Structure 1
Amino acid sequence: MKFSPRRSLLAGGTAAVLLLSACGGDDEPVAEPAEAGSDTTTGTTDASSDTTTGGATSVEGGPEATVPADVPEEYIGAIGPVDVIGDPLPYLETDVIADDPAVGEPAPVIVGLDFEGNPVRIDAATDGPTMVVFVAHWCPHCNAEIPVLNELRDDGLIPDGLNVVAVSTAPRADSTNFPPGEWLVDMDWQWPAIADGVDIDTGTFLAAEAYGVSGFPFIT
């Protein structure tokens, strides 16, 4: 695969370019599950557990979406419920920052849960400048990028007032560092993180699809 993710900053709810980097798809979105099933998954999590599960549990302040009880086993502990509010950003098909069609477009609001069942909301228009970091546990570039972000954090170089949120997406149960919730703990990720949801019928991961993700890490 060719990897060419967008790197930008959500300021006031619109996409504003920052720079470019490293790991994802070529002509099609990378948000594809390993195997398709029969149900569309838009999430629910057992708030008493540290893993995402099928069922109908709702969390105050969390998404309205639910994960079917018969979600494929390979996604248990790796996906969660996700609501997408607003129009999706266009898929990034260029390495040229100036040609990124998402620049200046309103970013959709993402509502999901972290791996402990706590609600997480990405809403730059309401909450202020937000950096969204799409990562995949199996991606070597993500495993190299997170320590860089951690170093910036530890050195006090993340600007005050900048919200940082990870979206763990495209999980692969048969790959390294699964499950992703444990991986993020091992990687010392201290900011909020959303477990992305998956649409089994279309073969896409919901938050990643909404943000036009073309590779990992994808920072917007």
Structure 2
Amino acid sequence: MRRCWASKIDGSKLPIPDEGTFATSDDPINGKTPPTLTGEGFAGQSVTVGPTTEPRIVIFLAHSCPHCQAEVPVIVELAEEGKLDGVVVQAITTNTSEDAANYPPSKWLKREDWPFKPVLLDDPKLRALIAFGAGSFPYMVFVASDGTVAGRWSGELGKADLAEVARRLVAGEPLFEE
């Protein structure tokens, strides 16, 4: 099997989480501009994860991660219900291993009816994940329509909370109560 992955990171890396401020209005990631990632997708095509004119959710998924396996159907269901309308979802598969469950990730996401394409492949050193200030998954970075980070989340967020995040992104509202 041919190996392909994120090959270019443009822009500054986002800060790693701080125990006391993660997923709060004080998180140092808020207001930063995320880097643009360029690389390859499942079919070897060029894929860019970068700025759009709409708010976006950048999500990192690992095929072997049980929390990712639980969150993907929730995201698919929200998309089918129209609760992610107005938000661009950009996905990156990361931590790929031939020896782990659900390999290859392309078949896993196809089996789950993942509607957001194309998907970018992270490299074996997880450079894309690290550039976005993370070290675990699923990991989501919420980007406002002005291109700056509005917040982030690691782990399962759940249907109601993710729908609320999407609604707030589209409405231009803050994600966190002050």
| Fold conserved between structures, TM > 0.5 | yes
Deviations 1:74-127 (A, max 9, x none): xx4xx5242100010011132451332111011101112210122221222x44
Q: Summarize the alignment of residues 87-126 of structure 1 with structure 2, pairs less than 5 Å apart.
A: 87-94=12-19, 95-124=22-51, 126=52
Is 1:213 the equivalent of 2:134? yes
Q: Residue type matched to 2:34 in 1?
A: A
Alignment partner of 1:174 out of 65, 85, 99: 99
Identity of aligned pairs, percent? 33
Alignment partner of 2:108 out of 174, 180, 183: 183
Runs of 4+ in 1 over 3 A off after TM superposition: none
Larger gyration radius, structure 1 or structure 2: 1
- What runs of 5+ residues in structure 2 fail to find an aligned partner? 142-178
Q: Secondary structure at the match of 2:25?
A: helix
How many corresponding residue pairs? 138
Q: Measure the CA separation in 2 of the matches of 1:197 and 1:93.
A: 25
Alignment partner of 1:128 out of 35, 54, 78: 54
Structure-2-length-normalised TM-score: 0.71
Retained in 1: the 8 A contact 2:96–2:105?
yes
Higher relative helix content: 2
1:172, distance to aligned residue in structure 2 (A): 2.0
Q: Secondary structure at the match of 1:142?
A: helix
Deviations 1:134-168 (A, max 9, x none): 000000000010111111111111122x2111100
Is 1:144 the equivalent of 2:70? yes
Q: Taking structure 1 as reference, are residues 146 and 96 closer, same or farther at Cα in structure 2, changes over 3 Å only?
A: closer
Q: CA RMSD in A?
A: 1.6
Q: Secondary structure at the match of 1:216?
A: coil
Retained in 2: the 8 A contact 1:112–1:119?
yes
- What runs of 5+ residues in structure 1 fail to find an aligned partner? 1-50, 54-75, 199-203
Structure-1-length-normalised TM-score: 0.58
Q: Secondary structure at the match of 2:110?
A: helix
Q: Measure the CA separation in 1 of the matches of 2:66 and 2:101.
A: 10
